[in-house]
């Protein structure tokens, strides 16, 4: 009888550890806050065209903006936004906020030299 109780306790502990592990795994993204990844352009890119597209992904966020203008993401968190460049150095800021008020900002600096097509993308 004591042996059966020990087995039941061991099984209950094992199930509890499994449930706790799974719960932490599912909530890990909520714990780390918003995550922004910029695919293009790369930091330091030089352009001859006055317009570029900023492409990236955002996870764990409720609100996202680019240079303080709201942008949208698809169901996978992918965004693709056109950005008008000013002559010279341009700073592109992508910001995300989650439902707990945590923020992440990603900054890119790109250069527009005023000609007609993309010179390089590093």
Kindly report the number of other CB atoms within 10 A of residue 18's CB atom.
10
Q: In this predicted model, what pLDDT tens digit does every residue of 36-86 receive, in sequence order?
A: 999 999 999 999 999 999 999 999 999 999 999 999 999 999 999 999 999
Rounded to the nearest integer, the mean pLDDT of the chain is 87
Is residue 121 predicted with pLDDT exceeding 60? no
Each domain of the chain, given as residue ranges in start order, spans 1-32, 33-112
| CATH 2.60.40.1180 is right for the domain spanning 33-112 | no
Find tokens 């992508």 and name the residue: 94
pLDDT value of residue 6? 81
pLDDT value of residue 32? 74
Does pTM surpass 0.75? no
pLDDT value of residue 67? 95
| Closest to 109 measured CA to CA, from 19, 45, 31 | 45
pLDDT value of residue 70? 95
| Closest to 82 measured CA to CA, from 58, 55, 106, 57 | 55
């Amino acid at each position: 009888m004591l042996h059966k109780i020990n087995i039941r306790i061991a099984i209950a502990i094992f199930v509890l550890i499994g449930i706790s592990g799974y719960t932490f795994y599912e909530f890990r993204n909520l714990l780390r806050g918003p995550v922004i990844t910029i695919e293009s352009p790369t930091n330091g890119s030089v352009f001859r065209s006055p317009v570029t597209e900023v492409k990236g992904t955002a996870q764990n966020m409720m609100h996202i903006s680019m240079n303080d203008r709201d942008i949208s993401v698809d169901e996978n968190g992918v965004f693709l936004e056109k950005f008008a460049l000013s002559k010279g150095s341009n700073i592109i800021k992508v910001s995300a906020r989650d439902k707990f008020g945590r923020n992440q900002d990603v900054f890119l600096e790109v250069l527009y030299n005023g000609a007609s097509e993309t010179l390089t993308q590093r």
